Structure 1
Amino acid sequence: MKIVTWNCLQNFKKSFEEIIKEEADIYVIQECENPEISKSEEFKEFASNYYWVGDNVQKGMGIFARDDVKIELVDLDDNGLRYFIPVRVNDSFNLLGVWTNPNLKNKISEYPNEITRYYEQHKDSGFFNEKMIICGDFNCDVSLKNKSHGRNVLKMIDKLSEIGLVDTYHYLNDEEQGEESQPTFYWLLKLENPFHLDHVFAAPGRIKRLEIGDHERWLGLSDHMPIIFEIE
């Protein structure tokens, strides 16, 4: 199964035509509009099998699947944490779409804490397990100058390791947190401002291939590069 996660920098009803060239089974898209408000017939056709969350109809997060892929929303209360979509895929594994977007003043340090809190609240629900996939825009990079943010990122990684999950990019490329050779985000759309904010967590060996989109193709559409991966 092929999955793509991408922060599309809004206006997804236009840029989806480029991302669907990847021919994925599931797309986890941050900063996208609610398909219910779209007047684009092409976008509505693409979004025939989806779940979406957001406080702003123009800027939320959606999980979009092919018509032959079964996605079922799992009833987990987010308790005000933004934004998470928990689904069951093909009655086979759990997928958590993530776009951390805390509604707090001290946002930089709180981004990774949103994921830690969500995990702590639901770790005994049965949803979190070693077969699951967590992916999205975490807004987390230990190289950010805010030291408390870096500590909280490592704490979040340690928590997810309790169920056997690892940051797949770092696992496959044998790179340390904060020393990534491939960025996923370019601040202000400039190549000299790279960060690694987008992540995929899974058990070691669960993902057989992971690719970060090339800036020459994607930077004209978004400040984030898509992550494209395939699971066993």
Structure 2
Amino acid sequence: MKIITWNCNMAFRKKAAMILAHQPDILIVPECECIEKLVFGTDTQKPSDILWFGNNPHKGLAILAYHNLKLTLLDDHNPAFQMIVPISVTGGDVDFNLFAVWANNPNDKDGQYIEQVWKAIHYYNELLTPKRTVLAGDFNSNTIWDRKRRPGNHTNVVKYLEEKGIYSAYHLHHSQIQGKELHPTFHLYKHQNKPYHIDYCFVSADIAKELQSVEVGEHAYWTKYSDHVPVIVTFNTGLFR
């Protein structure tokens, strides 16, 4: 089982082959064009299912499933958190809930980035359990940007999820501390000297036990396509299919 999140920096249809070479089962793609514009070449692997959310047809949040997996938007979905989307993933050996994340809502004047995640995880509190739960995407946040007087900061989001039995796969696998990551996932203006770690995959305790590897893409290669690099999380074969 492989889950990949990659903010493609728009025009995903022109870049899909590069990320699909890593054979994802689930692919979360912030800044992706709408489904109607996703016209792939004949040699590009087609998803078994796809969902897309957003107001701008050129720049939304796409979730693509492969290998016969099925995506279903949960009835609990609250459009107020337009880019934090609860989805049921079925069709494998084990069903699970996926929260696809692109923390970006300029219409929320109270906080359009990590505050969106903070609000969403409280709204979806009952769905966040230590079993069969994944949150993945572009969180646009890191502990280094915490605003101490605001509860909706990165540190408190991580703490809240950990209290639910949900953990960052990258930090578990690489024994990293929040805010001191050695592997950046984003380079401001694509500049190598402006690195930040802002893309994450959080998994519940049962899934974390099956964690095999977490790879973070190299700037030198991926900067040709985006200011983000992919986060590729692999679990033991057969966990979900």
**Please, what TM-score do these two structures have when normalized by structure 1?**
0.89
Q: 1:142·1:150 contact (CA, 8 Å) conserved in 2?
A: no
Distance (whole Å) between structure 2 residues aligned to residue 33 and residue 201 of structure 1: 25
Task: Say which structure is richer in helix.
Answer: 1
1:37 deviates by 3.3
Question: Equivalent residue for 1:100?
Answer: 103
1:118 deviates by 0.9
Paired residue secondary structure (1:188): helix
Tell me whether 1:116 sits opposite 2:118 in the alignment: yes
Q: Name whichever of 160-169 and 65-74 sits farther off.
A: 65-74
1:144 deviates by 3.2
- Name stretches of at least 5 consecutive residues in structure 1 with no aligned partner: none
Question: Equivalent residue for 1:192?
Answer: 193
Out of 214, 234, 239, the residue aligned to residue 230 of structure 1 is 234
- Name stretches of at least 5 consecutive residues in structure 2 with no aligned partner: 237-241
Q: 1:13·1:43 contact (CA, 8 Å) conserved in 2?
A: no
1:133 deviates by 0.9
1:48 deviates by 5.3
Question: Any residues of structure 2 matched to 1:78-89 within 5 Å, and which?
Answer: 78-89=78-89
Q: 2:118·2:152 contact (CA, 8 Å) conserved in 1?
A: no
Distance (whole Å) between structure 1 residues aligned to residue 157 and residue 124 of structure 2: 14
**Please, what TM-score do these two structures have when normalized by structure 2?**
0.86
Alignment-mate amino acid for residue 120 of structure 2: Y
Distance (whole Å) between structure 1 residues aligned to residue 88 and residue 212 of structure 2: 21
In the superposition, relative to structure 1, how do residues 150 and 180 fare at CA in structure 2: closer, same or farther (>3 Å)? farther
Distance (whole Å) between structure 2 residues aligned to residue 200 and residue 166 of structure 1: 8
The aligned length equals: 228
Distance (whole Å) between structure 2 residues aligned to residue 149 and residue 29 of structure 1: 29
Tell me the C-alpha RMSD between the 2 structures.
2.3
Identity of aligned residues (%): 30
Distance (whole Å) between structure 2 residues aligned to residue 147 and residue 222 of structure 1: 31
1:162 deviates by 2.4
Q: 2:9·2:226 contact (CA, 8 Å) conserved in 1?
A: yes
Question: Any residues of structure 2 matched to 1:13-162 within 5 Å, and which?
Answer: 13-40=13-40, 42=42, 46-47=46-47, 49-90=49-90, 92-103=95-106, 104-105=108-109, 107=111, 110-124=112-126, 127-130=127-130, 131-144=132-145, 152-162=153-163
